[in-house]
Amino acid sequence: MTENSCIEQDALVDYLYGEADDDTRRRIETHARGCAQCADEIGGLREVRDTLETWSPPPATIGFRVVSPDGDEPQDRVLALAPRFGWGRLRRLPGWGLAAAAVLVLVTGAVVAKPEVQFNQGGMVVRIGWTDTMSSPAPLGVDLVSESELVATSDEPRPGSQAVRGTPVGTGRPSGLEPRRAESALGVGGAAGDGMMQGVRQMVRESEQRQQRALVNGLEQLEQQRVNRRQADLVVLERTLAGMGSADGELNRQQLLESVRALLSR
């Protein structure tokens, strides 16, 4: 029995999905003909299924593929994810998944993103960068690692973010720095040191994400500009074509030629 009908739940579900055996199906149908409540229940649930059928996910660009960046590397150690489409598609890639987007080298052993941390009299220095040559590191006060940041690091990273580290195309190659360099540079040990390290890692992670977002925002803007210009050109082209039949034939032909030239040059 269900809440709203006299039919047993399992039989009702089987019936709704066309999986009831003939006997059950006949029994339910005979019953529903004489029981308004059950007929309403069946009709109502069918309506829900009809509505569900109209729900489709938004179109999304999800194409990517697995590539082997270095043929000599064993497949289970290094692999890369590359978008199947060009850079123009980057605009649809998610924040923390940007890493994977930009052509990502993933090392399953979890490479921490080459931070370099030093202590000196000015406090703690954190250096991060995409290339081996570190440029003008900014000294950071230790107090930057606030308590809230430390708390935040106790959360687990989002799925995969631990193992996935992104490297934009062009600069992407593993640096010579050892993954564990940060820890050894710290050298203080103890719970406080660990907490600080976590805070630093969090800052490094956030900084990386900011860089990636900035990169993608830039690309996105460029792409938008290009699309806008192209659309504007197409409008001009269309108008010119529409006016071809009129008296100013020669003038229109000139405009058309210019538009086509402009369009082709992009």
Nearer to another protein, 27 or 91 (CB): 91
Nearer to another protein, 169 or 251 (CB): 169
Q: How far is the CB of 192 from another protein (least distance, A)?
A: 27
Nearer to another protein, 53 or 147 (CB): 53
Cβ neighbours, 10 Å, residue 145: 21
How many angstroms separate the CA atoms of 72 and 141, rounded? Answer: 43
Query: What distance lies between CA 131 and its chain's CA centroid?
Result: 24
Query: Which chain residues interact with another protein by CB under 8 A?
Result: 2-4, 9-10, 12-14, 16-17, 19, 44-68, 75-76, 79, 81, 91-97, 100, 106, 108, 155-156, 158-160, 164
Q: How far is the CB of 89 from another protein (least distance, A)?
A: 9
Nearer to another protein, 3 or 23 (CB): 3
Nearer to another protein, 53 or 250 (CB): 53
Nearer to another protein, 61 or 118 (CB): 61
- The distance in angstroms from the start CA to the end CA of the chain is 67
Token pair in block for residue 8: 């047993």
Q: How far is the CB of 240 from another protein (least distance, A)?
A: 25
Q: Would you call 120 exposed, middle or buried from its count of C-beta atoms within 10 A (0-12, 13-18, 19+)?
A: exposed
Q: How far is the CB of 51 from another protein (least distance, A)?
A: 5
Q: How far is the CB of 159 from another protein (least distance, A)?
A: 5
Nearer to another protein, 55 or 143 (CB): 55
Q: How far is the CB of 13 from another protein (least distance, A)?
A: 4
Q: Which residues contact 199 (CB under 8 A, 6 or more apart)?
A: 145, 146, 149, 150, 153
SS (H, E, C) 2-41: CCCCCCCHHHHHHHHCCCCCHHHHHHHHHHHHHCHHHHHH
Coil, strand or helix at 177: coil
Q: How far is the CB of 68 from another protein (least distance, A)?
A: 6
Token pair in block for residue 158: 């989002």
How many angstroms separate the CA atoms of 42 and 49, rounded? Answer: 11
User: In terms of DSSP H, where are the helices of the chain?
Assistant: 9-16, 22-34, 36-53, 98-101, 147-153, 181-186, 190-242, 249-264
Nearer to another protein, 142 or 234 (CB): 234
Phi, psi angle pair for 229, to nearest 5°: -60, -40
Q: How far is the CB of 161 from another protein (least distance, A)?
A: 9
